[in-house]
Amino acid sequence: ICRHTLLLLRPSPTVCMLFLTSCRVSLSVIRLALPRNPTLVAKPVSPTLRASRLLVRFKSLSSVSTLFSMPERRPFVRLPTDVYPVNYGLRLKPDLIDFTFEGKLEAAVEVTQGTNQIVMNCADIDIITASFVPEGGDEINATGFNYQNEDEKVTLCFPSILQKGSGSLKIDFVGELNDKMKGFYRSKYMTPSGENRYAAVTQFEATDARRAFPCWDEPAIKATFDITLIVPKDRIALSNMNVFDRKPYPEDHSLVEVKYATTPIMSTYLVAFVIGEYDFVESQSSDGVTVRVYTPVGKAEQGKFALEVATKTLPFYKDYFSVPYPLPKIDLIAIADFAAGAMENWGLVTYRETALLIDPKNSCASSRQWVALVVGHELAHQWFGNLVTMEWWTHLWLNEGFASWIEYLCVDHCFPEYDIWTQFVSADYTRALDLDALDNSHPIEVDVGHPSEVDEIFDAISYSKGASVIRMLHNYIGDEDFRKGMNAYLLKFQHKNASTEDLWECLEQASGKPIAAVMNSWTKQMGFPIIVVDQEQHGSDRVLKISQKKFCASGPRNDENCPNWMVPISICTSEDPSCTKMKVLLDQPETTVNVTNIAPDHWIKINPGTVGFYRIQYSSAMLESLLPGIRDLTLLPVDRLGLQNDLFSLARAGMISTVEVLKVMEAFVNEPNYTVWSDLSCNLGVLSSLLSHTDFHEDIQEFIRNLFTPIGMKLGWDSKTGEGHLDALLRGLVLGKLGKAGHKGTLEEARRRFKEHVEGKQILPADLRSPVYLTVLKHGDSTTLDTMLKLHKQADMQEEKNRIERVLGAIPAPDLIQRVLNFALSEEVRPQDTVSVIGGVAGSSKQGRKAAWKFVKDNWEELHNRYQGGFLISRLIKLTVDGFAIDKMAAEVKSFFESHHAPAAERTVQQCCENILLNAAWLKRDAEDIHQYLLQRKAPPTI
C-alpha cells in the first residue's frame, strides 16, 4: 500500500526520500517512482498488472545507508547445483510505450537431488506465479518467493520435496525496460521524419540477463534457448537464431508472435533480442553463412563496409581455427544507446553506431579502421567465448585478451595496407605497460567472487595486456603450433566451459614448450620486468649481460622478494634489423649471452618488433649506438616507437632525465611513419599536460611546433594521388597537433577552411574535420562554440556528433567551458557520450581540468545513477582526474570517493590518485631542467 501511495500521490522527492529512508528503500527507486514518461499514467492497464509493474519499480539493490557508508563486501556463494536448466522456453512481450515487459518462462530442468526450493538469479523483476511440474507428475505451485536483492537472487519455495529427475519450471513475471543501458532496456532513436521513438534492446554481459528473465546467470550453467517475442507488427524483431515462425498475435492484431530456432547450448550472458525499426544490407560469406548488418532506417548504405569486413572475417576465422562458424546466420546491429563499444551475443552482435556504421563520404580513415577492428574482435568471440566459454569471470581476460589480439590478425588479413601491427604497439601494448607499472594495477587473472566485481576488470589489463602477452606467446610458439593448439582447445571444449589452464595444456601439447610455466608468470602476478642490458666486445663476439627486475612507475625498487618472470628475449643486430639473430628464455634474475660474429661498429637491439612485454634500459653506450637508427630510419618503425616509448617511461619513473628524452624526440624530425608520430604525439601530450602546471607551458608548445612543422609542411593540407589510409591518418594527426599548439599558418588555414565548410562553399573532407574543429575551438570564442553546437545539432551521423563532442572542451574561456560541461548532460548528448565530452574538457587545459572535476563532484549523484556502477563510471573518473599534478589533489580525490562510493571504480580511483602523485613527483624532479633546456633551445647561438 505504501509503495502504491507514493505513485498515486506523487509527493515531492524530498518527502519521498524521508519516507523511503525509513523504509530502507534506495534513492534510485525514488527516481523510478516519479514517472518521466507521461504515458505511464495515461495508459489504462489492469489493476493486477499495474500492481505488479509498480512493484518492479521498487526493487532496490541497496539501502539509502549505502550512500553514506562503505558497504561491507558480502561473502559470495555461487548458485546451488541441485537444480539446473537444460532448455529455456522464453516468451517476452515488451511494451514500447509503457516501458515494461511481461514474460513467461517454461524451463526444462534437472533436479539432481531432492529439494523444496529452487535458487535462481533475478534482479528488477517481479515474479507473479511459479510452479514445478515433475515429468509425469502433478503441478506443484510455489508457496513463496524470497528475494535476496543484494545478491540478485530469488528462492522459489515449494510445499513438498521436488524429487530427483526431469521436470518443468514455469514462471510468469513482469519487468521494466530500464534506461540504464543494461539488462533489457530502452534505447531512444529518431525516425527520418524527426519523431523520437524507442527500441527494446539487450546488454547482458556480465550479469544482467537476470534483469530480463529469472535464470541461472552464471557462464558455466549453459542451456539451449527457445525464444518467442510478441512485438508490434511494424517492428523488426531479432534474436540469436533465425526466425522459423511468425504469425499474428491472437489477443491483439497490432502485434505479431515471432518464434526463433533453438539455440546451441550457451551461457545466459550471450542471449540477445532487439525490437525496433531498422534497415539492413545482406550478403553470404564464402562458407555459406548469411550475414546482415542492421542500420537505422534510411542508412543501409552505411552498413556496407562492416558487411564487407564480416563476410571476409568469418571464413578467415574458420580457416584459422579449423572449426566452422556453428550458426546459420549472424546479424550485426547498430544500437543508438549503448554503453560498451560492442557485444558478442552469439548470432546477434550489438554495436554502438560509431563502431559499425561507415558513410563513404563522411567517415574518416580512423573510423573505418575502428569498425574493422571491432567487427574482427566480436566475430572472434563467436568461437573464443561463445563456442568455448570461460568457466567463471576469473578467466574473463582469456576471452577479451585473445579477441583483442586476434582482431589485429584479422584486420591485417583484410587490410594489409593499415600496417596494423605497428599500431597495436601504440594502441594496446604501451597502454597496458603504463597501467601495469602502477602499484595499484592487478594481475591479468583476478579471482572474482561476487559478479559486481567483474566491471572492475573490464580494463586495459584484461584487454590490452592480455592481448600483448598472447602476442608474445604466439611469437614464442610460432604460428603453426599455435594454430594446432587452438584447434585442439576449441574441439575439446566446444559447447562447454574452460579455464586458462586448459588452453595452456592444449598449446603445450602442440608445441612441446613449457607454456604453463612461462605464462603463469605473466598472468598470475602483477606487473612486468625491466630488462637491463650492458655489453662488452670480445674479439668478434659481443657478450651481453642481461638482468630483470620489476619495473615500477615510481622508480627502481630493491625489494628482496622481487618477482621474476620467464621472459622470451629476442635479439637482432644492425646487419639485419628485421631478422631475429637469437632467442633466449630468461628465467633467472640475470644471465650472460654470447652473440657471435658482431663487428665492433654494429649495434645490437633487444626485443625486435617490440613483442616481449617489458621495458628495456640499455647502457649509455648501447643507447648511443642505437639513436642514429632513428634518424636514418635503419631501425624498423615499431622499434623506433618502442625505443622512444621506453625512454619516456623511464623518464617519468625518474630513472633518466626528461631532457634526455626531449633530445631523442628531436631525432624524429625525418620520421615518415604514422604510428611512430602518433606515439610521439601522445607522449608529448602527456608532457604538455604536466607542464600546464608551470609558467613555461608555452615553451613546450614551441617545442611541439618545431618538431611537427617539417612533416606538416611535407604533407600539406590536401591528399595527393597515390596516398593511402596511413597518409590520411598522419595528416589529421599532424595538423591537429600543430593547430592545438598554436602554429600560426595552421591556425589561419584551419579558420579559412572552417568558414567555407560552415557556409557550404567547400565541405571539409572527413579526415580533416577533427583537426580543423579542434584548432578553431582551441583559439576560438563564443561565436565559434555556437557554430560548433549548431553543426552538432544538424549532424545526421553519430560519428560527426562524436567528433564534435570530443573536441568541444578545447574552448579556452571559463564561461564557455562551463557551457560545454552543461551541454554534456543535456538531451543533445547520448548518455554514453557524456563521458567523452567531460573528458575532453578535462584533457584540454589546466582550467578545463579544474572545471571538469568540480562539475563531476557537483553532478555526482546524477552521473553515478546514470551509469549504475558500470565501466563508464571508471572511464569518467580516469579522464577527469588523471592529469592533475599536485599532491593535495590526490588527497581530495581520495576523500571525495570515500564519501561517494563507486564500488565498480575503486581500483580506478586508487590508480588515479597514484598517477597524480607520480605526476607531482615528476614535476618537482624535472621541471626546472626542462625549462632550462627549452630556454637554451630558443637562445641565439653564440659566436
- Run of H or E including 855: helix 846-858
CA distances (Å), origin 541, targets 555, 577, 594, 607, 830: 33, 18, 7, 19, 62
Burial 138-164 (b: 16+ CB within 10 A, else e): eebebeebebebebbbbbbebeeebee
DSSP, res 62:
S
Task: Provide the edge-to-edge strand list for the sheet that holds 567-573.
Answer: 582-586, 567-573, 604-606
Which residues, 6+ apart, have CB-to-CB distance to 427 below 8 Å? 464
Answer for the pair 111, 99: CB distance below 8 angstroms, yes or no. no
Q: Is the CA virtual torsion 631, 635, 636, 638 positive or negative?
A: negative
Which residues, 6+ apart, have CB-to-CB distance to 672 below 8 Å? 633, 711
Candidates 188, 97, 124, 37; CA nearest to 833 is 188
| DSSP E strands, 599-650 | 604-606, 615-618
- Residue 558, all three cell numbers: 630493491
For residue 279, the cross-strand partners are 295
| Pairing between β-strand 348-352 and β-strand 329-335 as defined by DSSP bridges | parallel
- Residue 652, all three cell numbers: 617519468
Which of 218, 257, 378, 914 is an active site residue?
378
| DSSP E strands, 574-647 | 582-586, 590-595, 604-606, 615-618
Residue type, 583: K
Q: Angle 466-477/500-511 helices, nearest 10 degrees?
A: 20
547 dihedral zone (left: phi>0; alpha: psi -120 to 50; beta): beta
Q: What is the largest CA-CA distance in the chain?
A: 105
| Pairing between β-strand 615-618 and β-strand 529-538 as defined by DSSP bridges | parallel
Which SS3 state, helix, strand or coil, does residue 549 take? Answer: strand
Q: Is the CA virtual torsion 368, 373, 376, 377 positive or negative?
A: negative
Q: Report d(CA 201, CA 168) in Å as an integer.
A: 28
Place of cell 560469406: 285
Which residues, 6+ apart, have CB-to-CB distance to 890 below 8 Å? 884, 913, 914, 916, 917, 920
Which residues, 6+ apart, have CB-to-CB distance to 849 below 8 Å? 841, 842, 843, 880, 881, 883, 884
DSSP, res 113:
S
CA distances (Å), origin 507, targets 119, 383, 516: 38, 17, 9
Annotation marks residue 456 as catalytic:
no
Place of cell 526466425: 243
For residue 178, the cross-strand partners are 185
Q: Is 245 exposed, middle or buried (0-12, 13-18, 19+ CB in 10 A)?
A: exposed
Q: Report d(CA 117, CA 902) in Å as an integer.
A: 34
Q: Angle at Cα 508 formed by Cα 470 and Cα 610, nearest 5°?
A: 30
DSSP, residue by residue, 197-238: EEEEEEE-TTTTGGGTS-B--STT--BEEEEEEEEETTSEEE
Annotated binding site for Zn(2+): 377, 381, 400
DSSP, res 750:
H
Place of cell 618488433: 609
Q: Report d(CA 152, CA 150) in Å as an integer.
A: 6
Which positions are annotated as active-site residues?
Answer: 378
